[in-house]
Structure 1
Amino acid sequence: MRSIWSGAISFGLVVIPVKLYSATEQRDIAFRQVHREDAGRIRFRRFCTVDEEEVPYSDIAKGYELPTGDMVVLTDDDLAELPLVTAHRIEVLNFAPGDQVEPIMANKSYYLEPEEAGTRAYVLFRDALERSGKVAVAKVALRQREALAALRVREGVITLETLLWPDEVRKPDFAFLDEDIEVRPQELKMAASLIDTMTEDFEPDQYHDDYREALEALIQAKIEGNDVVRPDGIAPPPRAQLADLAETLRASVAAVKAERGKADGSGKADRSGKADRSSARRSTTPAKAETGDATRTRGTSRTRAKSETPAPSRRKKTA
């Protein structure tokens, strides 16, 4: 894992230097937006509506629009000068029973790893927090946004769970809440009985993303049926990249032996090397011609070999 933030836990007068890592990731299948007719990739440009020109990313700033349509422009320098105490500090405010932090307030989870100099203080805080059965309520600033957070212990590691602010959680406003709906005792008893019957320990590993698995199967079926489009201008991958592992290992062994033969300086090795080079020249000539023909092919073409198209990749999103 790669840390995305470094700072310190501020716990009273105790300061514990830590690194922060994303604790979760989304395993989505990676798609690109393409033109349906020829599979060409769709690209979006940053276009200014005033001067009608494309704008480089370095010239883009943040703008707050007023009711009049006027803009308040904020640059990176403006934001960097904001007096944010929690920019590099996880400031513990108080402790509270864990069940008082409602699940609906949960936003994103992170792992906290101690810096070497703060390991002992980290372990002390972790053990005390776990023994208390409480969560530490804190504030932290990530990506120019201050968030409320809850510190807990999971599998020996302190986790930081960013929380939504109270005004970010919507109030349920549904008509049935104001209606007097009668539920008969027998119905309630039967519903409770059904819940008891279906109750079991939560084992997340037994659940699967059926939609993602079906999507992967669909993509694989198209690959195996050669229903794959190669956009114009995209050359087929070199055959050297498509060799199987055994062939790659055999080629590596042959290369090492040839190198050792040169080092020996024997006449036999020299003659063998010339023969190998001559054979190599004969064997590579057709491959070059084949690659050239593939490069010169214009228009959209269908792939002919199953091995030329990789299996669907999964996109990992972290924050």
Structure 2
Amino acid sequence: MRSLWNGAISFGLVNVPVKMYAATTDKDVRFRTLHRECHTPIQYRKFCPTCDKEVGADDLVKAFEYEKGRFVIVTQEELDALAVAQTRSIDIMDFVNLSEIDPIYFYKSYYLAPGDTGHKAYWLLRRAMEATGKIAVARIVLRNKQHLAAVRVLPECLSLALMFYPDEIRSAAPLAPKQEIQVHENEIKMATQLIESLSTPFVAAKYTDDYRAELLQMIESKIAGDAVTLPQAQQPGKVIDLMEALKASLAMVEEDRKARRPTGD
């Protein structure tokens, strides 16, 4: 596994050298766009409509549009100068309880392994975080952007999860019901029973991307020249009474449970 970033976790006057590794892999199936007539991959070129000509990478600059049609140029050197002081440091600001952070804030995860030096400091930080049950809220600069992050303890190593800043989270207030919906006590009881009957320990391996598997299978069949049979689209079910739907769901769960129950000799 190749490290993406080398630096140090900084808290107080303590620096803990670390190496950062990607914790996730993008497995999206990606397509190329071809010319329908000859099946040649399409090229996307940069074109200036004012000068009426194609431009190269050396002719491009970054700019911020502060009014419609009005821009201020920002150089790469200026961007680098703003970030240079923090590009090699994960600066811990606070230690908090993980339960206090809504999962909506997290969006990308990395592993943090010990650096080439400072192994004792790494393990000291890890043991102290385990003992207190705390996670660290920190700042890190990646690709010229300052990110909020959470550092926590995994069984194998430390991890870092990038987080949205509070002003990047949209308010859900406009989606709140305008008036309270009356729900019968029996409906609540039956819905609770359904939730309890479907409750189980979380086992990540049981959740798979069925769409990607079917897509790859279809692609392999087309490469092999086999006929491809497309699945029929499911028709939306008719709307039925809520209580009847809950009863049917509970019955379905019970039947599934009986089917999986081991039979005696």
The answer to whether the superposition gives a TM-score over 0.5 is yes
* 1:178 alignment counterpart: 178
Q: CA RMSD in A?
A: 1.7
Aligned to 2:253: none
**CA–CA distance in 2 between the matches of 1:160 and 1:68?**
38
Aligned residues: 227
1:26 maps to a residue whose letter is D
Match of 2:140 in 1: 140
Q: Percent identity?
A: 40
Q: Residue 38 of structure 2: SS of its match in structure 1? A: coil
Question: Displacement of 1:173 after TM fit?
Answer: 4.3
Q: TM-score, normalised by structure 1?
A: 0.68
Between the aligned partners of 1:31 and 1:220, the Cα distance in structure 2 is 14
Q: Tell me the CA shift for residue 136 of structure 1.
A: 0.4
Mapping 1:80-91, distance limit 5 Å: 80-82=80-82, 85-91=85-91
TM-score normalised by L of structure 2: 0.81
If asked which structure has higher relative contact order (CA below 8 Å, sep 6+), I would say: 1
- Rounded Cα–Cα distance in structure 2 between residues aligned with 1:81 and 1:215: 45
Pair 196,16 (structure 1): closer, same or farther in 2 beyond 3 Å: same
Write the letter of the residue equivalent to 2:116.
E
Matched AA of 2:91: E
1:225–1:18: structure 2 CA closer, same or farther, 3 Å change rule? same
Deviation at 1:68, TM superposition (A): 4.4
Q: Which has the larger radius of gyration?
A: 1
CA distance in 1, matches of 2:178, 2:94: 37
1:91 match: secondary structure:
strand
The CA deviation at 1:4 is: 1.7
Structure 1 residues 38 and 226: CA distance shift in structure 2, 3 A: farther
- What is the CA–CA distance in structure 1 between the aligned matches of 2:58 and 2:186, rounded to whole Å? 67
For residue 56 of structure 1, what is the aligned residue in structure 2?
56
Letter in 1 for 2:166: P
Question: SS state of the match for residue 192, structure 1?
Answer: helix
Aligned match of 2:120:
120
> Aligned partners of 1:187 and 1:86: how far apart in 2?
55
2:83–2:144: 8 Å Cα contact kept in structure 1? no
Q: Are the aligned partners of 2:136 and 2:152 in contact in 1 as well (CA < 8 Å)?
A: yes
1:168 and 2:206 equivalent?
A: no
Partner of 1:149: 149
Aligned position for 1:101: 101
Contact 2:96 2:136 in 1 (8 A): yes
In the alignment, structure 2 segments of 5+ residues that lack a partner are 228-265
In structure 2, C-alpha distance between the alignment counterparts of 1:145 and 1:83, rounded to whole Å: 7
Q: Which has the higher helix share?
A: 1
